[in-house]
Structure formats: C-alpha cells, structure tokens
Amino acid sequence: MDTSSELQATVDALAQPGKGLLAADESGPTIAKRFERIGVESSEENRRAWRQLLLGTPGLGEFISGVILYEETLGQSADDGTPLPELAARQGIVPGIKVDKGKLALALAPGDEITEGLDGLGKRLAAYRQQGARFAKWRAVYNVSDTLPGLAAVQANAEALARYAAICQQAGVVPIVEPEVLMDGGHSMARCAQVTEAVLHEVFHALHRYGVALEHMLLKPSMVLPGKDAGHAPPSEVAMHTVQVLKRTVPAAVPGIFFLSGGQTPSEATANLDAMNRLAPLPWRLSFSYGRALQEPPLLAWRGDAANAAQAQQALLLRSRLNGMACLGKYDAAQESTAS
C-alpha cells in the first residue's frame, strides 16, 4: 500500500459515524494529578493497570475508533503479555501517539507559550510505527486575555503544527492538529471566538504552505466557550458560535473535526457536541477526542482497586456511548443519570 492509500485507510478508520477518540495520552505530571484526586500513587504499574483497564473495556470499539497513547503506554503490555496498542487494535480501535514534548514560555512574549518536539520527530515516528501507532497528535496552547495571544505566538505555533503535520504525512502517519484556545480566565465568548478564528486561520495558512494534504489530517480544536471565570453558556450558543468560526476557517477537505473537552464536565462536553451536530448538514464530521470528559467517571469508579475494574469499564462504555450519540445529534440528556 502506498503512503497516500495508507493515510486514507487510517483516516477512514478514525472518522467513522458515531465514533470518536479516547485521549489517554496524559503526561506524567497530569496523570499524577488525576491519580492524586482518587488517592492512587502514579507509579508505572498503576498507570499500566489503568490504561489496560481502559483499552480492555469490552465493546469499547463500538463507540471509540482510535486511542491517543502516551509514549510510555506504547511500550507496555497487558497482564497476559499482549502489547497495549494490540489490545486496542483487537477491538478495531486504531492506536495513535502524542508526539509533542510539551510547552514552554515563548521568548520575549510574556504570557505566550510554544510547543516543542520537532527535533528528531521523523526518526521517532518510524519507531512508533513499529510499535503499532498509525496516527499522531501535537498540541499547541493559546492563553487568552485582552492582549493574548500575541501575533508571534499565533504564527509560531501554526508553523510548528504545520511542520509536524508534514513530517507525519511523509512518514505515513495521520496527523491530528490540535490548537487549544484555553478556557482559563474571565474572557467573554466573543473574545474566545475572535482568538479561535485568528488561530485556525493562521494554522490552515501554514498547513497550505507546507503542502499538507488536508484530506489526510484531522483537526482537534477547542470549542468556542466563555472563560471559566465568565460563567456558563448554553449548548445552543456554544454550537452556533463554534460552527460559525469553523465555517469561516476550516476547509471542507478536512474529513473530521474531533473536539477536545478542555476542562468541560463530561455532560457539558457531550451536550455541546450534540448541539453542533444538530446544525447539520456540515461539510465535516464533528466528533470527540476527549480525555478527562471520558476518563473522569471510570477513574472515580476504579479508585486504584482491581475489584472495581468492571464497574469502571461500564462507566467508560456508557460515557462513550453518550458521546457516540452526540456525534449523530441524537444525545438524550435524560440518560445522564444512567451514566453518572
């Protein structure tokens, strides 16, 4: 199979109707914080046990088409010796890998950040492919205020995202491009929309400059939301503003837009996605790539105890099914009581 056909096959496997992605690629510090909330030590064995529980959930492949893994997880195995990427693949879930190396302050731009990890990326991708990864993810973050992000941050992160995407496609790996406009702060929904539009506009300009095939990539943006300190917006409003920004900036050639949850509660993330899909027809498939919004209910059920594994898996399956329905615009909030 040539590279183009391979990329197309991966995109087709990921962008299936009624399915989305499980983001299980938390860095060491992030998963340590989540484990701390349930009184579990973030040891390598506990992380392995948790991610085995997620990927081994019976029936998960009915609603989850792909899983984003952390580098550590790509090399770990289940209790019976099955590599964790293979455990996912057995359910028809495509394994992917987070490839960026985290963010740091952008020089001479107070409050702005840049993501690193381009050096040696091509070689790392070759190794990840050997371990079963068929797609990758790179996250850029944008802090929001009256003056942030600055133009330098918007341009530098767009350039890095485009370079990453081009390197991925050359290696036969589908890139997920993730520009996250952060919810932190008291900014208005209008300010979030303004920043998101500027960010996405710049990202697609850069992707075009680097010759990235839009048909062979996926977008993982944040929704247009007011800042955490600015109150709550109803799903209909989130949907209207988010879709308006997407229509202004994202070419129809992009096959799928997989939203991040970005600090929303599990039910908020599902309701907002559902409201967007009720605005059909849209040129792209709108889906989810949720981390905490999928993992929080099973994590609270598990609490580090193997005896709770089945209950935790049931919580993950229910949450995944609700999001699968939201992808089709058929989510029913009345089912939340069953999933809680």
Where do the structural domains in the chain lie, given as residue ranges?
A: 3-339
The single-letter DSSP state of residue 106 is P
From the CA atom positions of the chain, what is the Rg in Å? 19
Half-sphere exposure of 154 (CA within 13 A, CB side): 18
Helical pair 28-37 and 292-302, crossing angle rounded to 10 deg: 50
Beta bridge partners of 179: 140
pTM, full prediction: 0.97
For the chain, count helices (H), then strands (E).
Answer: 13, 10
Catalytic site positions: 178, 220
Spatial separation of the C-alpha atoms in residues 63 and 179, rounded to whole Å: 24
| Sequence-ordered list of residues with C-beta below 8 angstroms from that of 190, at least 6 positions apart, any chain | none
Q: Across the chain, where does the E strand assignment appear?
A: 20-24, 64-69, 94-98, 103-105, 113-115, 135-142, 174-181, 218-219, 256-259, 285-290
| Residue 338 confidence (pLDDT) above 60 | no
Q: Which CATH number fits domain 3-339: 1.10.580.10, 3.30.360.10, 3.20.20.140, 3.20.20.70?
A: 3.20.20.70
The pLDDT of residue 339:
47
Say which residue, 143 or 336, is predicted with more confidence: 143
Direct distance between the N- and C-terminal alpha carbons of the chain, in angstroms, rounded to an integer: 44
Rounded Cα distance between 202 and 149, Å, is: 13
Which residues, 6+ apart, have CB-to-CB distance to 72 below 8 Å?
A: 44, 47
Q: Is a pLDDT exceeding 90 seen at residue 86?
A: yes
Taking the C-alpha atoms of residue 184 and residue 176, their distance in angstroms, rounded to an integer, is 23
Tens digits of per-residue pLDDT, 117-172?
Answer: 999 999 999 999 999 999 999 999 999 999 999 999 999 999 999 999 999 999 99
